[in-house]
Amino acid sequence: MLTALIPRLSDSEVEAAVELLTGLLRRHLSKEEYHQLFLKD
C-alpha cells in the first residue's frame, strides 16, 4: 500500500505523516522500547 501511496504524496503530506508517526511513537513507546525496536540497543 505504501509503495503506491508515497510517490503520490506531496512533501508537506510526507512531513505530516512522519510527524504524526513520530508523535505516536513518543506517546506510546518508552525510551527503552524505542531503542530496542529501532536502534537495536
Tens digit of pLDDT per residue, the chain (41 long)?
889 999 999 999 999 999 999 899 989 999 899 888 888 76
Q: Is residue 31 part of a domain?
A: yes
**The pLDDT value given to residue 34:** 85
**The pLDDT value given to residue 41:** 61
pTM of the model: 0.69
Q: Is residue 32 part of a domain?
A: yes
Q: How many domains does the chain have?
A: 1
Q: Is residue 3 part of a domain?
A: no
Q: Is residue 34 part of a domain?
A: yes
Q: Is residue 1 part of a domain?
A: no
Backbone conformation region of residue 21, classed left if phi is above 0, alpha if psi is from -120 to 50, else beta? alpha
What residue numbers bound the domain in which 31 lies? Answer: 13-41
Q: Is residue 29 part of a domain?
A: yes
Yes or no: say if 27 and 34 are a contact pair by the CB < 8 Å rule.
no
